[in-house]
Amino acid sequence: MFRGIVWIPPDTRLPFIRLRLIFFAVSGFLIAASVLLIAARGLNYGIDFTGGIMIEARFPGPVDMASTRAKVDSLNLGGTEIQGFGGPNEVLIRLPLQAGDEKAQGRAVEKVKSALGASVEYRRVESVGPKVGAELLRESILAVIVSLGGIMVYLWFRFEWKWGAAGIAALFHDVISTVGVFSLSGLEFNLSTVAALLTIAGYSINDTVVIFDRVRENLRKFKTMPLPELFDRSINETLSRTINTSGTVFLTVVALYAFGGSVIRDFSFALLWGVVVGSYSTICVALPMLLYMNIDRGAHDRPAPEAAPGAP
């Protein structure tokens, strides 16, 4: 058995499958709550999707938010938003798109810079048109759908379609719950978040394939063992690998979240949630669902190919 930072004794037999109804209830609550939150509160879309102007500014000292907001509002540029970003001396200023072409957007940015003074450092200025934002949103949704479809096809060919359906159910659980967390927290949902969703899907399915492989091996070795017992055995046999892999990835992302800067903080937060929920869904959603898929045990009775004579 895999030995690493955490070692699980070979005779460990935690009853994961026996608790499947509890896991299903928890997952059902997560999915339902996420859907309701998205429908009721929506998402805090970044300018990648909505269009507008975003200015990231760093002041020489702590920001007086009331004074800064008054200066920007006096410019009459529309519904502006100002929020703390990163350290106490950093703010994020959002402006609606101004009437006119790119020059009009540039003039709005210059007005803001003039109002705030020359001592302010402008770390980032972005402008996205509404048509581009809507197109990016459509393409992002399509990217997630295509990736999930591709993963299902991969699982279908590697195992069979029932295994693919169970794996996709777990991935849907991961993706929708991550979007729900963003809706609940009000964190900005932008292209970086979409990249995080795709990363979560890839990470989660890697975990799922590892355990599915062990299940397939055990189906060949224990032809008469009841499926619940066989699934529990497979999960416990790969538990050290799951904990060590998830733990090291989690610690890496924690460091990224803490020291990577404000630009990638939302991305890192999504990954933190994704590592946890992805490991949970593999063990507590994908495999228990497979129990109800009436899988064909005979399809896995074929012995593994023997090594050629003289091979090591």
Q: What is the CATH number of the domain that holds 31?
A: 1.20.1640.10
What domain count does the chain have? 2
The answer to whether residue 1 sits within a structural domain is no
Whole-structure pTM value = 0.75
- Among 102, 128, 154, identify where a domain stops: 128
Q: pLDDT tens across 200-255, in order?
A: 888 888 888 888 888 888 888 888 888 888 888 888 888 888 888 888 889 989 99
Same domain, 99 and 246: no
Distance CA 54, CA 27 (A): 37
Q: pLDDT tens across 30-44, in order?
A: 999 999 999 998 888
Q: Residue range 52-68: average pLDDT?
A: 84
Position with higher pLDDT, 311 vs 251: 251
Q: What is the CATH number of the domain that holds 99?
A: 3.30.70.3400
Percent of the chain with pLDDT over 70: 87
The answer to whether residue 282 sits within a structural domain is yes
Q: Residue range 39-52: average pLDDT?
A: 81
- Among 128, 146, 161, identify where a domain stops: 128
Q: Three-state DSSP class for 290?
A: helix
pLDDT, position 310: 43
Q: pLDDT tens across 103-159, in order?
A: 777 888 888 888 888 888 888 887 776 666 677 778 888 888 888 888 888 878 877
The answer to whether residue 312 sits within a structural domain is no
Q: Is the pLDDT of residue 302 over 70?
A: no
Chain mean pLDDT for the chain: 81
Strand 188-189 with 44-45, pairing: parallel
- Among 109, 128, 147, identify where a domain stops: 128
Q: Which domain holds residue 214?
A: 17-44+133-300
